[in-house]
Amino acid sequence: EAQVTQNPRYLITVTGKKLTVTCSQNMNHEYMSWYRQDPGLGLRQIYYSMNVEVTDKGDVPEGYKVSRKEKRNFPLILESPSPNQTSLYFCASSPLSAGGWSYEQYFGPGTRLTVT
Amino acid sequence: LAKTTQPISMDSYEGQEVNITCSHNNIATNDYITWYQQFPSQGPRFIIQGYKTKVTNEVASLFIPADRKSSTLSLPRVSLSDTAVYYCLVGAGNFNKFYFGSGTKLNVKP
């Protein structure tokens, strides 16, 4: 089944304790992206990647890191989480058109992170 | 990034046609307009995408005027299961950065 998976689905952690949220897709998509969703703010893009070893900042990259060492995986790293990073996080992937733009994004089930 | 403005919420009744309009005054030449649907506690799901004029698929139609500063998602004959948040998304083009906005919460009543 074509899908985007995220782990963990739920995580409660403390301020400053490094954590990684994994994202994996089995559709051979070039494009992957991370979003956070907060009440009243919709989805905001954190980072995205056009292909292996190619990443770029989205709208709200502060406090986050990403890496793209393999095409299928795009982990989100919080080096020193803070309470304002408490949010619902979504990973997404998409094929790229011949012109290099993302068409339909497929979203994972989400990771609910609480930082105390 | 081109920002989008949508109504916060809309109410409708089963069987009616629903039109949700999105304003995107600063859309760039290379930007496409995409609409997503999101149910509570789930990731968004792609509905439709277009660049200009009209696009139709099995679930919706997308109307884009010539100046592309707005777009309208049309859902024919909605049902209770169409109750969800609908996001208008402008982006892609050369940079593949996306701005979702706050979405429109559609409430379909029986």
Nearest by CB to B102, which of A41, A48, A56?
A41
Number of neighbouring beta carbons within 10 Å of residue B46 = 18
Q: What whole-number distance in Å separates Cα of residue A65 and Cα of residue A56?
A: 10
Closest approach of chain B CAs to the CA of A44, in angstroms? 7
Determine the residue of chain A that is closest to B4 in CA distance.
A42
Beta strands in A26-107 (DSSP E): 31-38, 42-51, 54-57, 65-66, 76-78, 87-94, 106-107
Residue B2's pLDDT is what?
63
- pLDDT of A109 reads 95
- Consecutive 10-residue averages of pLDDT for chain B (110 residues): 85 97 89 92 92 94 96 96 94 69 93
The bridge status of strand A10-13 relative to strand A42-51 is: unpaired
Beta bridge partners of B13: B109
Instruction: Report residue B39 as tokens.
Output: 């149910």
Q: Going residue by residue through chain A (116 aa), what tens digit of pLDDT does each one get?
A: 889 999 999 999 999 999 999 999 999 999 999 999 998 888 899 999 989 999 999 989 999 999 999 999 999 999 999 999 999 999 999 988 777 777 789 999 999 999 99
Among B90, B84, B85, smallest CA distance to B103 is for: B85
Sign of the CA dihedral with A99 first, then B73, B23, and B40 last:
negative
pLDDT score of B29: 86
Report chain A residues whose CB lies below 8 A from the CB of B101: 42
Q: What is the pLDDT of residues B76-102, one digit of tens each?
A: 999 999 999 999 988 755 567 777 878
Q: Do B92 and A102 touch (CB under 8 A)?
A: yes
A50-62, pLDDT tens digit by residue?
Answer: 899 999 999 899 9
Mutate to test the interface with A, among B96, B97, B100 (most CBs of A within 10 A): B96
Partner B contacted by A47 (CB < 8 A)? no
Of A59, A100, A109, the CB nearest to B42: A109
Cβ within 8 Å, pair A33-B46: no
Nearest to B46 among A48, A104, A110 (CB): A104
Query: According to the model, what pLDDT value does residue B44 have?
Result: 93
pLDDT, position A41:
83
pLDDT at residue A98, as a whole number: 72
What per-residue confidence (pLDDT) applies to A83? 97
pLDDT at B91: 77
Q: Do the Cβ atoms of B94 and A100 come within 8 Å?
A: yes
DSSP string, B34-92: EEEEE-TTS--EEEEEESSEEEE-SS-EEEE-TT-SEEEEEESS--GGG-EEEEEEEE-
pLDDT score recorded for residue B27: 87
Residue (of A75, A19, A30, A21) closest to A54 by Cα position: A30
**What rounded mean pLDDT belongs to chain A?**
94
Measured CA distances, A95 to A2, A37, A101, A102, A114 (Å): 13, 23, 8, 6, 31
Contact B100 A108 (CB under 8 A): no
Chain B residues inside the 8 Å CB shell of A106: 46
